[in-house]
Structure 1
Amino acid sequence: MYPALLWEKLAEKRVKCRTCQWYCEINEGKLGVCRMYRNQGGELYNLNYAKVSSVAVDPIEKKPLYHFYPGTDVFSLGSWGCNFHCKGCQNWEIACPETDEGLHQSREILPAQAIAMAQNSGSAGIAWTYNEPSVWLEYTLECAKLAKQKGLYTVYVTNGYASIEHLDTIGPYLDAWRVDIKGFNDETYKKIGKVPHFEGILSTAERAKSKWGMHVEVVTNVTPGVNDDDAQIMGIADWIARRLGKDTPWHITRFHPHRLMRDYPATPIETLEHAYEHGKAAGLDFVYLGNVPGNEHNDTICPYCSNRAVIRTGFSSRVVGLDGSKCANCGTDLNFRV
């Protein structure tokens, strides 16, 4: 166990965890919602510090991040634990153990070792992904500090449910906030992940960009009968345009049946195309379709002169029309970190 960073003492040896937006109040000997923070003797401890369930070198496009150091590799680490309980989770086998067995059998990679591995792999940065990084703060923070010292970029692939205190703690050391927006009302979040309220996810993403200058990209996995109605799709598109900026990339991805949602159909391509049109109608410059191999909405095209700036095939990118962050043809800033 590792001492937790963000918490407060309550009466009768209870504690309040301030790591994520659940703000769990935990009795002695008990765990928070994510099962990675324990009240031990009236003190809060993190259980997954340096406990790694997954390690990979991925193209940055796999996160997906399309406007962030395109064509580079990112050293990707995941652990156990999540503060959501999504019925269709794609990573539940390596992220959400039903017992502590997986945690105890995990590989231990200390922060300095993780950064050395990232450098030795030839990666340009490090990402905390596969599980929810906001329940791994003590570890991700130490890694991020070391990564910045070594010139590596840093990425959270997140559901966005980190607390403001969490965001402000790691904000100086985090370069990209790749956030899922799973729907646009409380009922959808309750249905998908058993989360009571979603508005805090929006305000945290806004703060990641406005206060900390992070590069933000949004992903919405469109699921039939859950979040594919016009009101939610239009709500997400409009929020991105108004609060994050029209040059913020929006990845609309296709749902595939998995885990406890095998009785749901895969998302029809027509539904994704319809969502794409809503994104463009809201004024978004960069709307991409994911989990649809070979689709036409995968390249980056300048919204002003139609110059093709980046060509993508699968997770491979070819930069063909960028001058730094600008369109090489007309000079329009295309919101890239390079």
Structure 2
Amino acid sequence: MKCETCFRHCALAEGQIGWCKARQRVGDVIVDRNYGKISALALDPIEKKPLAFFHPGSMILSVGSYGCNLACPFCQNHAIAQRDLDGSCAWVTPEQLVEKAVSLVPRGNIGIAFTYNEPMLSWEFIRDTGRLAKARGLQVVVVTNGSVTLPVLEKVLPYVDAFNIDLKGFSNAYYDYVSGNLETVKRFIERAATDAHVELTTLVVPGKNDSLEEMEALSSFVASISPSIPLHLTRYFPRWKEETPATSIETLQALQAVALRHLDKVVLGNV
């Protein structure tokens, strides 16, 4: 049976788990095996998502599970994103998570952010929790690599107020490096931006996606959707398998200057 969640379209036998570790064939259906399974929970500043232009100064309850459909060598959350933590997570229902978020409103919380691993692999949990959260007046945020199919995006879009989408780079070669698919992400961004607040993040890795030409192409694409979409250019530091030295501030500034030819808001991060 073919999984239709992301670009990989894993063909799964009975009981088999997909490449992402988050989806599994059970009988004649493919299920979200990490539904409600929580590996991380924190009350974060909204700017940490990063969202610079969506309720700035507020806090948001951030929740993560396990699994991812990419394999970025520099993944800072590899301990949960690249591992099968099925037996070591806490379990919460959508109702419990929403009640927790509501209880934190006096501390400045505005809602729930699905983040840390790749949350869109658990789109059913986002949909069910998001529906309840919206009924309680909460904001719903998804921090994603944007590497799922449009039918999956459509299932959660009515319940999501804002996305931060990782646009990893702007070449097929770079997306091969992170085991992804550029065209899938481009389509995801185009659709999400029509119905939700969208900000984009590009982690700049020296020698990989830091050319001025690639930034020219990337920012031109974003501007073709809307020049008002904020772009975060984030400084890379060595993590997990990637040992390349950290990105220089000068490189980020040069790329920012290129992107500002096309976009209204280009923010530097991790500087």
Aligned to 1:46: 32
Aligned to 1:117: 100
Report the CA distance between 1:45 and its aligned residue.
2.1
Report the CA distance between 1:187 and its aligned residue.
0.9
Within-5 A mapping of 1:184-263: 184-191=170-177, 193-195=178-180, 197-210=181-194, 213-243=195-225, 245-262=226-243
1:39–1:45 CA contact under 8 A, matched in 2: yes
Q: Does 1:92 align with 2:75?
A: no
1:176–1:215 CA contact under 8 A, matched in 2: yes
Aligned to 1:56: 42
Q: Does 1:143 align with 2:125?
A: no
1:177–1:205 CA contact under 8 A, matched in 2: no
SS in 2 for 1:124: strand
Aligned to 1:295: none
SS in 2 for 1:183: coil
Determine the C-alpha separation between the residues in 1 that align with 2:139 and 2:150. Answer: 22
The two structures, once aligned, show a CA RMSD in angstroms of 1.1
TM-score by length of 2: 0.96
SS in 2 for 1:220: strand
Larger Rg: 1
Aligned to 2:91: 108
Q: Does 1:288 align with 2:263?
A: no
Report the CA distance between 1:42 and its aligned residue.
3.6
Q: Which amino acid aligns with 1:184?
A: F
Report the CA distance between 1:269 and its aligned residue.
0.9
1:20–1:134 CA contact under 8 A, matched in 2: no
More helix by percentage: 2
User: Which stretch shifts more, 151-160 or 227-236?
Assistant: 227-236
Q: Which amino acid aligns with 1:59?
A: P
Within-5 A mapping of 1:19-30: 19-30=5-16
Greater relative contact order (Cα 8 A, min sep 6): structure 1 or 2? 2
SS in 2 for 1:69: coil
Q: Does 1:133 align with 2:119?
A: yes
1:78–1:95 CA contact under 8 A, matched in 2: no
Percent of matched pairs sharing the same residue: 39
Query: Which runs of no fewer than 5 residues in structure 1 stay unpaired?
Result: 1-14, 293-338
Aligned to 1:276: 256
1:178–1:217 CA contact under 8 A, matched in 2: yes
Determine the C-alpha separation between the residues in 2 that align with 1:151 and 1:46. Answer: 26
Q: Deviations over 1:224-267 (max 9, x none)?
A: 01100122111111111112x111111000000011002x0100
Determine the C-alpha separation between the residues in 2 that align with 1:42 and 1:285. Answer: 48
Query: Which runs of no fewer than 5 residues in structure 2 stay unpaired?
Result: none
Q: Deviations over 1:11-38 (max 9, x none)?
A: xxxx111122222221223221111111
Q: Which amino acid aligns with 2:179?
A: K
